[in-house]
Amino acid sequence: QFLGSTEVEQPKGTEVVRDAVRKLKFARHIKKSEGQKTPKVELQISIYGVKILDPKTKEVQHNCQLHRISFCADDKTDKRIFTFICKDSESNKHLCYVFDSEKCAEEITLTIGQAFDLAYRKFLESGGKDVETRKQIAGLQKRIQELETENAELKNKVQDLENQLRITQVHPSPAGSVTPKSPSTDIFDMVPFSPISPQSSTPTRNGTQPPPVPSRSTEIKRDLFGAEPFDPFSCGAGDFPPDIQSKLDEMQEGFKMGLTLEGTVFCLDPLDSRC
């Protein structure tokens, strides 16, 4: 049975848990007097967290990640009651969850402790050792994006300069100005190739048209050869979300804080002796 959850001021402490259990037991006592039943739930404990599910629909009501659980305890005088404190992912508040578990509270508490140890060991083996490496990769990925933006801006500037150069060469020379000399020809009486030669309808001396000037691509996400720029992280973008550094820091901090397992007396004067 799930008595509910309530906000607490500290992530650990016997007094903190005692007050929370007293508060939720009082609330259950009032609900029972009004004819309301305490809801039953199903717990799934793994190295990823503790899930609180509806036993019939299997709908997840609460999902508590293990690195956010800082305190777990059972009542040595009442084998049915156990609780844990978890930091909420959205509000960052510490919430105390209280359960009535039919005299197996101690076993559930130890199971959560074992899951925490396994999760911490796995974190050290897979993620903890290369946390700094992942941070550096995330930083390099950000730097690559900045360089691609700068590269796109430079391409646009080059394109603008080329357009201005074409316009200057196409305009006829004003009256009184010196007529520019015709370009020199090679041994085959052809005008030498120039990558910035303006496209003209006037045929050359041999009667052929000059090849059209290929226009540069103005697409931002293409390189000088018309191909998309190489991104070494595109294949694994899902492995490195934008906030990976904060998530890794949070996991590291949560595991360093550790999980405190404790058996204590939550309530000196039980409000409902039939719990």
Q: Give the model confidence (pLDDT) of 189-198 as tens digits.
A: 665 655 554 4
Residue pLDDT, tens place only, 197-239: 444 444 545 555 555 555 554 445 555 555 555 554 454 444 4
Residue pLDDT, tens place only, 16-58: 988 999 999 999 999 988 888 889 999 999 988 899 999 999 9
Tracing tokens 């995330």 back to the chain, one arrives at 138
Confidence band, pLDDT 50/70/90 cuts, at residue 77: confident
Residue with the bigger pLDDT between 192 and 247: it is 247
Residue pLDDT, tens place only, 89-138: 888 899 999 999 887 888 999 999 899 888 888 888 776 555 566 667 77
pLDDT at 219: 47
Q: Tokens at residue 55, please?
A: 């036993």
Residue pLDDT, tens place only, 146-198: 898 888 899 998 988 888 888 887 765 555 555 555 556 655 566 565 555 44
C-beta of residue 62 within 8 angstroms of C-beta of residue 5: yes
pLDDT at residue 145 tops 50: yes
DSSP state, residue 65: E
Q: Give the span between the Cα atoms of 80 and 82, in whole angstroms.
A: 7
Confidence band, pLDDT 50/70/90 cuts, at residue 79: confident
Q: Give the span between the Cα atoms of 270 and 237, in whole angstroms.
A: 53
pLDDT at 270: 43
pLDDT at 249: 73
**Measured in Å, how far apart are the chain's first and last C-alpha atoms?**
10
Tracing tokens 């559930």 back to the chain, one arrives at 108
Among 110, 88, 87, 98, which residue's Cα sits nearest to residue 19?
98
> How many other C-beta atoms can be found within 10 angstroms of the C-beta atom of residue 231?
13
C-beta of residue 93 within 8 angstroms of C-beta of residue 87: yes
